[in-house]
């Protein structure tokens, strides 16, 4: 919850004022309405994606976590709640639920998990906080004085952001940190999240002991760190009582041996390979392979190939890719890495051959799709890149990166009106309406395009200006 509250305030304040703040008596408890919670969450996520430097914008890592999360949320009682999972590059062990079903996980936690069931255990616990409405109940249970304090801070946050004055922003962050403690879950909520989380874990077919083993290890870390306990323990107070509670519940479920998925191991290797010192990571993976001390040979070779690629040792990276081929791995992550190695070495035909073959097997895989279009552009085949991007956009019109790739394709073909129009769609999907409008204005002045393209741009510009005016109206309550 490092930035949770700070951003909550930004939206909560205008929304509450615009819609009429309910008259909360000193002791009245009103749960936060679900639509408002979702809007708060969406605004936070927009900021996270655009401004949080630790946000991991990696389609493979995100897709893996969301697939795991979807399997777990499908095993929870139906609440109509949507979930979105994302990863922050942070070595500390933490995970947290934001309002609206957005669940963030630190990369350090994914790497500290010794089995997929352990990671699933933490996600199940967070999903339970959401389905049991813990955040909404806590945010609703603030008295009027606290709500007023939130509003005052929200204004300060907005001012700090529009001035982009860092010292002011830092001051506000400090104030928010003081209020953050209000959002720590109570022991009752923790116990409920454990109970519901274990049920979810069991129903989804994972090893329920994963929850206890991970929490026990977190507690050991906690003792090790003393005053600087892992974030997870601060936001989810872990007591001996809680652990024995979890263990008792687990005794009531059936023992089950669950193998980790290949992608769990590959994602962990990718996170290790792409963070910190590349040389150190390469030495680490090489040692694992030399001493044959690894959980998964595929993951160790994948990690070594990815770090060698980062170090631009293309031959060494290719040697590991060849070994991976020999191990006959079916994961599209391996295909994508193999293509990346060819692309980085300047062998675009080789990369394109890999994408063609892999996409025939995994037609809905986004990393392969984006990689293929990027390789087509690198190979000077802009027309083919445009065709692929445009065809896929028919199927998934709200795919933001695909609009970005379409814009690059148009740029390569010298079609300026269409380039700015596609770029506008990317910005609009990211919630950057002002930037989107600017792109459409550039499209109008581009000096190319036919009558129909111009009228399309004009119509889109009118629609986005109206949407922007509506947002501004909602954000200026004072």
Query: Which residues contact Zn ion by CB under 5 A?
Result: 185, 190, 193, 236
Report the residue number, 126 or 340, with the smaller CB distance to Zn ion.
Answer: 126
Closest CA to 231 of 132, 107, 48: 107
Task: Write down the least CB distance from residue 264 to Zn ion, Å.
Answer: 22
Task: Write down the least CB distance from residue 103 to Zn ion, Å.
Answer: 11
Task: Write down the least CB distance from residue 49 to Zn ion, Å.
Answer: 24
Report the residue number, 89 or 236, with the smaller CB distance to Zn ion.
Answer: 236
Residue nearest to Zn ion (CB): 236
Closest CA to 282 of 305, 315, 266: 305
Task: Write down the least CB distance from residue 187 to Zn ion, Å.
Answer: 10
Helical H runs in 362-432? 366-378, 382-395, 400-412, 416-429
Task: Write down the least CB distance from residue 448 to Zn ion, Å.
Answer: 55
Q: Residue 38 in 3-state DSSP?
A: helix
Task: Write down the least CB distance from residue 122 to Zn ion, Å.
Answer: 9
Report the residue number, 185 or 410, with the smaller CB distance to Zn ion.
Answer: 185
Give the span between the Cα atoms of 321 and 330, in whole angstroms. Answer: 13
Report the residue number, 118 or 190, with the smaller CB distance to Zn ion.
Answer: 190
Q: Residue 8 in 3-state DSSP?
A: helix
Q: Which residues contact 300 (CB under 8 A, 6 or more apart)?
A: 269, 285, 288, 289, 294
Report the residue number, 244 or 363, with the smaller CB distance to Zn ion.
Answer: 244
Query: How many alpha carbons fall within 13 Å on the CB side of residue 413?
Result: 21
Task: Write down the least CB distance from residue 242 to Zn ion, Å.
Answer: 10
Q: Residue 209 in 3-state DSSP?
A: helix
Total residues belonging to the chain: 478
Report the residue number, 134 or 359, with the smaller CB distance to Zn ion.
Answer: 134
Strands, sheet with 84-88, edge to edge from the N-terminal-most edge strand:
84-88, 102-106, 95-98
Give the span between the Cα atoms of 198 and 129, in whole angstroms. Answer: 12
Report the residue number, 126 or 347, with the smaller CB distance to Zn ion.
Answer: 126
């Amino acid at each position: 919850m490092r930035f949770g509250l700070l951003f909550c305030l930004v939206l909560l304040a205008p929304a509450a004022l615009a819609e009429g703040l309910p008259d909360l008596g000193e002791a009245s408890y009103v749960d936060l309405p679900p639509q408002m919670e979702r809007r708060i969450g969406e605004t936070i996520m927009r900021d996270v994606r655009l401004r949080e430097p630790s946000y991991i914008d990696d389609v493979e890592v995100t897709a893996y976590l969301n697939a795991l999360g979807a399997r777990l949320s499908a095993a929870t009682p139906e609440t109509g709640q949507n979930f979105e999972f994302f990863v922050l590059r942070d070595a500390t062990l933490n995970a947290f639920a934001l309002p609206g079903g957005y669940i963030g996980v630190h990369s350090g936690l994914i790497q500290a998990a010794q089995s997929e069931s352990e990671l699933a255990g933490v996600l199940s616990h967070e999903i339970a906080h959401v389905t049991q409405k813990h955040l909404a109940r806590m945010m609703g249970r603030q008295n009027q004085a606290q709500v007023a304090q939130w509003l005052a801070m929200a204004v300060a946050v907005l001012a700090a952001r529009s001035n982009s004055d860092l010292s002011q922003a830092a001051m506000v962050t400090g104030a928010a940190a003081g209020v953050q403690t209000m959002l720590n879950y109570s022991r009752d909520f923790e116990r409920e999240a454990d109970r519901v989380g274990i049920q979810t874990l069991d129903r989804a077919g994972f090893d329920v002991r994963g929850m206890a083993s991970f929490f026990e290890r977190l507690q050991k870390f906690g003792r090790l760190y003393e005053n600087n306990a892992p974030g997870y323990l601060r936001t989810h107070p872990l007591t001996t009582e809680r652990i024995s509670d979890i263990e008792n519940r687990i005794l009531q479920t059936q023992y089950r041996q669950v193998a980790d998925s290949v992608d769990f191991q590959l994602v962990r290797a990718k996170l290790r390979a792409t963070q910190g010192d590349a040389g150190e990571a390469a030495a680490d993976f090489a040692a694992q392979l030399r001493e044959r001390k690894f959980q998964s040979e595929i993951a160790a070779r994948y990690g070594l190939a990815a770090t060698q690629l980062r170090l631009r040792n293309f031959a060494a990276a290719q040697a590991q890719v060849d070994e991976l081929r020999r191990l006959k791995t079916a994961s599209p992550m391996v295909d994508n890495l193999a293509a990346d190695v060819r692309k980085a070495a300047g062998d675009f035909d080789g990369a394109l051959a890999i994408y063609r073959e892999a996409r025939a097997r995994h037609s809905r895989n986004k990393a392969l799709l984006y990689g293929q279009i990027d390789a087509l552009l690198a190979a000077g085949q802009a027309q083919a890149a445009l065709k692929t991007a445009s065809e896929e956009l028919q199927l998934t019109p709200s795919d933001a990166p695909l609009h970005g790739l379409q814009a690059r394709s148009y740029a390569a073909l010298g079609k300026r009106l269409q380039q700015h129009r596609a770029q506008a769609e990317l910005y609009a999907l990211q919630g950057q309406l002002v930037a989107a409008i600017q792109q459409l204005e550039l499209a109008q002045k581009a000096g190319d395009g036919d009558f129909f393209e111009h009228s399309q741009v004009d119509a889109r510009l009118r629609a986005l200006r109206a949407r922007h005016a509506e947002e501004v109206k909602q954000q200026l309550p004072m």
